[in-house]
Structure 1
Amino acid sequence: MSQDNNYSQGPVPLAARKGVISLTFVMLGLTFFSASMWTGGTLGTGLSYNDFFLAVLFGNLLLGIYTAFLGYIGSKTGLSTHLLARYSFGIKGSWHPSFLLGGTQVGWFGVGVAMFAIPVSKATGLDTNMLIMVSGLLMTVTIFFGISALTILSAIAVPAIAILGSYSVWLAVNDVGGLDHLRAIVPETPLNFSTALALVVGSFISAGTLTADFVRFGRSAKGAVLVALIAFFLGNSLMFIFGAAGAAAVGQADISDVMIAQGLLIPAIVVLGLNIWTTNDNALYASGLGFANITGLSSRTLSVVNGIIGTLTALWLYNNFVGWLTFLSAAIPPIGGVIIADYLMNHRRYAADFSKVHFLTVNWVAILAVAIGIAAGNYLPGIVPVNAVLGGVVSYMLFNPLVNRKFVKLPEVGHAE
């Protein structure tokens, strides 16, 4: 299969690897997303001051550990999530996670486009559909240039969002009497703590499962772990704090809405646009890699096609946002769990030349493990996404060795089939 500059069919060569700083900007560009602010607003109005920080920090620590595992594997091998899935799911078996992950990222792209267009339309009076088409097209054009465009865009967006957002929240908190006032607020409708943790982890575990797609460009596995922890533990926590502070101060969770309420219209549009642009381009990039694994086509071309689809369906996706999140919270995590479990059990196999590795056509144990993980997330008590990951890990570790021993002559195929 032909290789493209996104390395969708093989490992990233050492000459194309990047340092920790540039990858940190890319990953922070991913986690700086308005949806996390929305969830932060929900937590901020449903939890006490101390419980809010406990839920956010503990939940994002769990998310950071999960993504750090995947980041380590990605950097160690130089492979995308979808190529890593071939080891555990098989050649054609990997199409299942690629379709699910790629499809959800197209959905997130569409949601993001609408999340930009709708508030800007309300604030300026411009037509929503026109804004959706223009912003979706611009976001799609930049992804054509791959990881380099993501790096440049994130290097601009991340500092701008952090500085303007922090200033806006500082103004908002001071307007309502400072931190002492926020500490004294008692939630009118208290939120269960385990539910809060599920919201924190579930809000970004879909994109987190694709961590390897980005940090496979890292020069060292230790650096990839650091990047994942910074992005998901620190970066995502900052978005939750922005959302909670805004919700408490002016009744709006999204930092752009807070800034509009403060009369900062132009900075609000800039922050909202950059916030969503970086995350959306990461989503398109990952979706292209997923469908490239299935079709063998250029991931760059597929990313552009996915951007067009996401733009055209943006309003529908936006209107079904809550149901979408609920589905993702249990359906995605077991995939990452299976990939992690296979690497822990068979890490020496990953050190071989990828072009010479042989894979099963379909490993049904991996598919079963995902199904068990989904069931564990839905039916076991505790934190839904965490149960789903652990369900996938444990069931794969238990059943895969048994099946492999029983069917040692199961036919295998080369990676190029």
Structure 2
Amino acid sequence: MSTPTTTTAPGSLPDYIASASPNPPSNRAPWYKNTAPTYAGVFLWFAFWNSNAARGLLTGGLMPTLVGIVLAALICHFLFYVVPGLLGLKTGLPLYVVGTSTFGTVGGLLMPGFLMGALQFGWLGVNAFFSSGALSKAFGGDTGLFYTLCVIWTALAAFVGLKGIQYVAKVATYLPLIPFAVLIIALALFAGSASGFKLPVPTPTDTAGALWSILVTVSIVVGFFATAGAAGVDFGTNSRDANDVQMGGYVGIIGAIVLTMGIAAIALAGALASGALQVPASNDAVDTLQVTDALATKLSPSLYKAIMIGLTLASFPGACFSSFIAANSFKTVMPRVNPFISVGIGAIVSMALAITGIAGKLPVVFGIIGASFGPICGAMVADYLLAGNRWSGPRAGFNPAGWIAWALGFFVGVMPNLHKWQEAIPDVPAAPVAAFVVGFVVYYITAKIGMLTPVVPMPNRIDA
């Protein structure tokens, strides 16, 4: 069956799409002024690199972990980022508009619109958990202090995200220098011992071997990046040309991932080899291995406290930006709801995730995020290619191809989490990547057999 080409009347276009204006070329800038530093700042966040190399390291050793880091960086750039970035470049339109070609003018409000906003509160919970944990460690590690900080941190970030994000943006450019300096210190202290790291036998992880080490590392990194990959549409709207899109990813994604996670893996290997850190006794404790804990064994208490405070301060802009993105998403999909109410409810959820420790279980969190946005990115790539390397335009209502692709991809992506609950469900390796592939293939097939709603004419479109 051929792809349907009829269109609906212009009046059927929702206001949020009809009123969207492309970002003009005069407002765009080189990759080194926007895309690269912003993405690099994401990966310099200490919650990304502090413990996420540990599982790969204790599954297969240092070299397979480093291979997994490089492979994950390439996947993030070429599969999850490039096409969204090019869509943003060519259309000048934000993700919630561009996504309507995949999920429909009505469906796009939910996917990726509402989902992007809702998941930001998950990120806010992760930020609150690790930032509050770092601060409480700096001041003695009291549990009551941790709970109090979770509440204050989340509430303050939500308020600033709603009211004062412009002030945070002015200092956010320089704060990533703090985690970068911490990584360099860790490399200087522990790199010399890294070659002496030997994989413990038996390993504390559920699986063992070089291949599993690569796959688990890929899963963690790609799961962390999945939402930022789809947000490449928004980054692309600030790019001047395709070279800006590519260079922003080469430096801000590939380079930053390899730098931050690579240093963290080497530092953790050196810390374990030197005895600064001990190999955990169980699988559940593997993810508690942290670069900052290794630093605590080498640095003076005052310097360690300063580092933990500095890493926390560097995390605050990210918490505010999560609230800001959530607020904008909810304003779009729920324009009649006061954003203080919607963001307030989301902030309470974030507090609960942080206080209960759920937000600290990063493999689980990244698994859900990767399962959610892996198929979104896969379906968007398929739609882009089917349209002749361009944006097809908004499709009417709910586009079946996009929703079927997402549902099947999400199920595959979340299977590792379900496996922990029910062992009869297979444990899919590198699940976020598998979710991407399923989303791509299913969208391509369903589009080819005609499961697409009609394209709706759009005013002010520049990618015609």
Work out whether the TM-score is over 0.5.
yes
User: 1:20, CA displacement in angstroms?
Assistant: 1.6
Displacement after TM superposition at 1:166 (Å)? 0.9
Count matched residues: 399
Instruction: Give the TM-score normalised by the residue count of structure 1.
Output: 0.82
Aligned ranges 1:73-92 → 2 under 5 Å: 73-92=87-106
**CA distance in 2: counterparts of 1:306 and 1:342, whole angstroms:** 34
2:400 is aligned, of 364, 377, 388, to: 364
1:156 Cα deviation from its structure 2 partner = 0.6
Q: Distance in 2 between matches of 1:129 and 1:57?
A: 37
Distance 1:279 1:73, change over 3 A: same
Q: Is the 8 A contact 1:45 1:244 kept in 2?
A: no
1:354 paired residue number:
none
In structure 1, distance between residues paired with 2:15 and 2:171: 27
TM-aligned CA deviation for residue 349 of structure 1: 6.5
Pair 282,360 (structure 1): closer, same or farther in 2 beyond 3 Å:
same
Paired amino acid for 1:196: T
Matched, 1:69 2:83: yes
Cα-to-partner distance string for 1:181-213 (whole Å, 9 max, x where unaligned): 24xx23441352433332332232233332223
User: 1:26 Cα shift?
Assistant: 1.5
Q: Percent identity?
A: 20
Using the alignment, how far apart are the partners of 2:216 and 2:253 within structure 1? 19
**Unmatched 5+ residue regions in structure 2?**
1-13, 278-287, 416-425
Contact 1:33 1:275 in 2 (8 A): yes
Three-state SS of the structure 1 residue aligned to 2:53 is: helix
SS at match of 1:118: helix
Instruction: Tell me the alpha carbon deviations over residues 350-399 of structure 1, each in whole angstroms, 9 at most, x when there is no partner.
Output: 38xxxxx6530111221001122234544696532222112111211221
Find the counterpart in structure 2 of residue 280 from structure 1: 319
TM-score by length of 2: 0.74
> Which residue in 2 is equivalent to 1:403?
450
2:175 aligned to which of 157, 171, 176: 157
Question: 2:87–2:390: 8 Å Cα contact kept in structure 1?
Answer: no
2:252 to 209, 218, 231: 231
Which moved further from structure 2: 396-405 or 98-107?
Answer: 396-405
Change beyond 3 A, Cα 1:415–1:389 = farther
Query: Secondary structure at 1:361's aligned position in 2?
Result: coil
Deviation at 1:281, TM superposition (A): 3.6
Point out the structure with the larger helix share.
1
Query: In the TM superposition, what are the counterparts of 1:242-253 in structure 2 within 5 Å?
Result: 242-248=263-269, 249=271, 250-251=276-277, 253=289
Q: CA deviation at 1:56?
A: 0.8
Does the 8 Å contact 1:72/1:222 carry over to 2?
no
* DSSP-derived class of the 1:368 partner: helix
Tell me: CA distance 1:53–1:150, structure 2 relative to 1, closer, same or farther (3 Å): farther
171 and 35 in structure 1: CA distance in 2 versus 1, 3 angstrom threshold: same
For residues 292 and 361 of structure 2, what CA distance do their matches in structure 1 show?
A: 22
* Aligned match of 1:98: 113
Matches within 5 A, 1:299-318: 305=344, 308-309=347-348, 311-313=350-352, 314-316=354-356, 317-318=358-359
- Counterpart of 2:123 in structure 1 is 108
Separation in 2, partners of 1:99, 1:61: 28
Among 154, 165, 174, which residue is 1:136 paired with? 154
SS at match of 1:360: coil
Matched, 1:393 2:440: yes
Please give the root-mean-square deviation of Cα atoms over the aligned residues, in Å.
Answer: 3.5
- Aligned mates of 1:42, 1:370 — CA distance in 2: 28
Give the corresponding residue for 2:387. Answer: 346
Which residue does the alignment assign to 1:54? 67
Give me the whole-angstrom Cα distance separating, in 2, the residues matched to 1:374 and 1:222: 32
Give the greater-gyration-radius structure (CA).
2
- Give, as a single letter, the amino acid of the residue that structure 2 aligns with 1:90: G
> What is the 5 A alignment of 1:120-199?
120-125=135-140, 127-144=145-162, 152-174=170-192, 178-182=193-197, 185-188=198-201, 189=203, 190-191=208-209, 192-193=212-213, 194-199=215-220
